[in-house]
Amino acid sequence: MKIRVGVFFGGNSTEHEISIISALQALENFDRDVYDVLPIYITKNNLFYVGNDIGNIDKYKNISELLSTSTRVVPINNGNTLDLMIYPPKTFGQKIFATIDVAFPIVHGTNIEDGTLAGLFKMNSIPFVGSDVTASAVGMDKYVMKCVLKDNDVPVLDCILANKNEFETNEQKVLEKIKTKIGFPVIIKPINLGSSIGIKIAKNDSTLLEALKNAFMFSPQILAERAVTNLKEINISVLGDEDNQEVSECEEPVLSQDILSFEDKYMSGGSKKTGADAGSKSGMASLSRKIPANITAEQLATVQKYAKETFKCLNCHGVVRIDFMIDQDQDKIYVNEINTIPGSLSFYLWKAKGVEYKDLLDKLIKLGLKRKRKQEDLTFSFESNVLSHVNIGGSKGGKM
């Protein structure tokens, strides 16, 4: 009997469209002899839809029309499976659209990749692919991630945190803090976004103010850190769980400016492409890149070492991509950020190492099922008669 896999994508995120590209790309590569695969689209209002056209990229040019020909469903816990109930419910006829055995989230960005969707699956006791709630949340929060890694001797650039209320109350104070503690050039980032959204480099007071205003449009907190001027960016993927980790080939993105931009990542249509199509349809696979990266054997060993340590330190699961910065002036390597659900699932980095996309997806599903089996051996309840002694009446109430 085939395993029924629900591929969830979309959601209320600035990276909504990138998620669609990543997911539909993956849908073309599942082993259909082993898996029954159902695409489940999550709207920007976090409503779930299924239907014949949900897996057709061309239909997303007109979302309203797509939804009008699709079926809204609500995920309902059915033991160790998840029923997709038709909503609004029908008085007669079919009430359950489909039942899935494994959830496979391919989502990007705040409000969905940050553990929100993983929490839904975990609460409903269904096996799912990818990192758990805590790892997803920490991976999304750049400041918390840096604190955890730094505490575990993984090299990261020093940074400072600023919040929107502080900035709106006293712009000059925030500017002076950044200039004093970081200096120019400085890079300003929203604390919890990916795909290079909201990121700018500031080289003077006016561009710093502009960068802060831009970043605060996307997040109530921002990160400021030194901008590495003679920079080489290196990306690597890690696949596995707490028991075993494998590393992919390294890539060196080709930058069109000082930092890797959204356009570089998803709209470059560069000369080095790995996938069926170029440009935005291929997501991260369309990025102009060098594979393998042009780095020394010593640098490669360092990147691989810290990639595995980052994966283990954050307790990641499944496939992630970890982005590194090499300061070529100081010959130092830093972890920049982690993507717990990377664009295109980083399949192109594994393909460069001889792992086909179909096999990558198979490994990820097996890892999700393995985790579920291990969790079933744990105890999540504690028998006690405490309720027999609780009195919620009277002025004291039931607070203990």
Residue 15 a catalytic site member: yes
pLDDT at residue 226, rounded to an integer: 96
pLDDT at residue 287, rounded to an integer: 72
Q: Which of 195, 219, 237, 346 is catalytic?
A: 195
Is the distance from CB of 227 to CB of 201 less than 8 angstroms? yes
Residue 171 a catalytic site member: no
Report the distance separating Cα 221 and Cα 207, nearest Å. Answer: 18
Report the distance separating Cα 207 and Cα 205, nearest Å. Answer: 6
Residue 78 marked in a binding site: no
DSSP secondary structure of 201-248:
EE-SHHHHHHHHHHHHTT-SEEEEEEPPSSEEEEEEEEEE-SS-EEE-
Q: Let me know the angle formed at the C-alpha of 256 by 255 and 262, rounded to the nearest 5 degrees.
A: 80
pLDDT per residue as tens, the chain (400 positions): 999 999 999 999 989 999 999 999 999 999 999 999 999 999 999 999 999 999 999 999 999 999 999 999 999 999 889 999 999 988 887 899 999 999 999 999 999 999 999 999 999 999 999 999 999 999 999 999 999 999 999 999 999 999 999 999 999 999 999 999 999 999 999 998 765 788 999 999 999 999 999 999 999 999 999 999 999 999 999 999 999 999 999 999 987 666 655 554 545 554 444 433 333 456 666 678 899 999 999 999 999 999 999 999 999 999 999 999 999 999 999 999 999 999 999 999 999 999 999 999 999 999 999 999 998 877 666 677 777 777 776 555 555 5
**CATH 3.30.1490.20 domain residues, the chain:** 159-226
pLDDT at residue 122, rounded to an integer: 95
pLDDT at residue 279, rounded to an integer: 39
Would you tell me which CATH number, out of the four given (3.20.20.60, 3.40.50.280, 3.30.1490.20, 3.40.1370.10), belongs to the domain 159-226? 3.30.1490.20
The reported pTM is: 0.89
pLDDT at residue 387, rounded to an integer: 73
pLDDT at residue 94, rounded to an integer: 80
Q: Which of 22, 237, 282, 344 is catalytic?
A: 344
pLDDT at residue 268, rounded to an integer: 52
Strand order in the sheet with 245-247: 245-247, 231-240, 318-327, 332-339
Bridge partners, residue 10, by sequence: 42
35 sits in which H/E element: strand 35-42
SS3 labels along 291-355 = CCCCCCHHHHHHHHHHHHHHHHHCCCCEEEEEEEEEECCCCEEEEEEEECCCHHHHHHHHHCCCC
| Homologous superfamily, domain 139-154+230-265+285-355 | ATP-grasp fold, B domain (3.30.470.20)
Residue 339 marked in a binding site: yes
Q: Which of 15, 233, 252, 309 is catalytic?
A: 15
Residue 337 marked in a binding site: yes
Reply yes or no on domain 3-128 having CATH 3.40.1210.10.
no
Report the distance separating Cα 279 and Cα 295, nearest Å. Answer: 26
**CATH 3.40.50.20 domain residues, the chain:** 3-128
pLDDT at residue 394, rounded to an integer: 57
